Amino acid sequence: MIRDLTAAALTGMASVLGVVLRLVVVAPLIAALGLGGLAWYYHQRAAALATDLAAARAQLAQRAEADAVHRAYITRLEEERARWGNLTRDLQSMEGRDAPLSDHLGRAARRLWP
């Protein structure tokens, strides 16, 4: 009877030991697979974010170039406006500005200064 109990106890311990050994082997494998999956996911996400970042930088460069062109255009318009303002002041301050213009010159002046 004692032999039967010890045999049963040993059999029970062997099955518990088998379960523990399986857990010791399987748990790290499952953890490694889980960590590998997370690493793959974050690698894919980083690649997608890098692509988005490159596109955003390209768009930013295009907008900076458009801004430079727009500023140059505005500067040119301001210079032209200043020249026309100077010309208008010169013409208004000239001696004899109240003298009547010829028909041809009057038509030209009305087209320039409506």
The angle subtended at Cα 114 by Cα 72 and Cα 79, nearest 5°, is: 20
What's the pLDDT score for residue 12?
60
Looking at residue 39, its amino acid is A
Q: What is the pTM of this model?
A: 0.51
Closest listed residue to residue 85, CA positions, set 77, 97, 95: 77
Please give the chain's pLDDT, 114 residues, in tens: 555 556 555 566 667 667 777 778 888 889 999 999 999 999 999 999 999 999 999 999 999 999 999 999 999 999 999 999 998 888 788 877 677 878 888 888 888 887
What's the pLDDT score for residue 53?
98
**HSE, side-chain direction, 13 A CA sphere, residue 107:** 2
Q: Which residues contact 88 (CB under 8 A, 6 or more apart)?
A: 113
For the chain, domain boundaries: 62-90
Instruction: For residues 78 and 108, give the distance between their C-alpha atoms in angstroms, rounded to a whole number.
Output: 24
The tokens for 23 are: 């857990």
